[in-house]
Amino acid sequence: MNYGAVRASAARMKGKICMKRFALTAATIAAFAAAPAAAQDAGVAIVGNDDAEIGTVLSNDGTTVVVDTGTHQVPLGTEAFAEREGVWTLNTTKTELDAAFGQLVAEQQVALEAALVVGAEVKTADAQALGTIDEINDNGIVVTHMDQPMNLQRDMFALDQDGALIVLAEMAAIMEALAATAG
């Protein structure tokens, strides 16, 4: 099966899921001063509470600002930022932010590995039932959908906000890939 489009979609979805989960966790390490969403433009430097640069803004969709620390690309809610004398700040340091995000990524990986078991129910990124895991092998993870097995790579799986096992692609993209291999 040709999963090129599905894999591209998976990479985007994985980032979004991680962003959403960390945006909530960041509340414990960031000061939540109200800041206009448009204020954190791409390329703008972000400074920590130690007056040292944390990183630069990669993107801002109006609700989530992705900061590149050089170690991680950390998604944070716009409310985590404050402006001080024309400089955008976070109430944390680069070291603290990298450590907190690194710990979250590690915890998510452990939880994902625990969820990847034969018999586990799998949903799509758009919350549709895909099927169950029938086999885990060196070539990937076999999920059967409507009596049709499909071999998916391990990096296409994640846990959603509620901890449910999902494939990082929407049902339409998966069905399109299946149809392309059948025809």
Q: How many structural domains are present in the chain? A: 2
Indicate the length of the chain as a whole number: 183
Where is the domain boundary, 112, 133, 168?
112
Please state whether the predicted TM-score (pTM) of the whole model is above 0.85: no
CATH classification of the domain holding 74 = 2.30.30
pLDDT tier at 20, thresholds 50, 70, 90: very low
Mark whether 108 and 36 lie in a shared domain.
yes
The answer to whether position 3 is within a domain reads no
Q: Domain of 132? A: 114-182
Mark whether 76 and 40 lie in a shared domain.
yes
Mark whether 94 and 175 lie in a shared domain.
no
Helices (H), 32-166: 94-115
The answer to whether position 7 is within a domain reads no
The answer to whether position 170 is within a domain reads yes
Pairing mode of beta strands 82-84, 165-167? unpaired
Residue whose C-alpha is closest to residue 30's, from 85, 86, 101: 101
Structure-derived torsion over alpha carbons of residues 37, 41, 45, 46, reported in degrees to the nearest 10: 10
Mark whether 133 and 80 lie in a shared domain.
no
The answer to whether position 70 is within a domain reads yes
Mark whether 96 and 78 lie in a shared domain.
yes
Q: How far is CA 132 from CA 2, 138, 144, 145, 154, in A?
A: 20, 18, 6, 7, 14
Residue 31, pLDDT > 80, answer no
Residue 109: the pLDDT is 92
For 111-165, what is each residue's pLDDT tens digit?
999 999 999 999 999 999 999 999 999 889 999 988 889 989 998 999 988 889 9
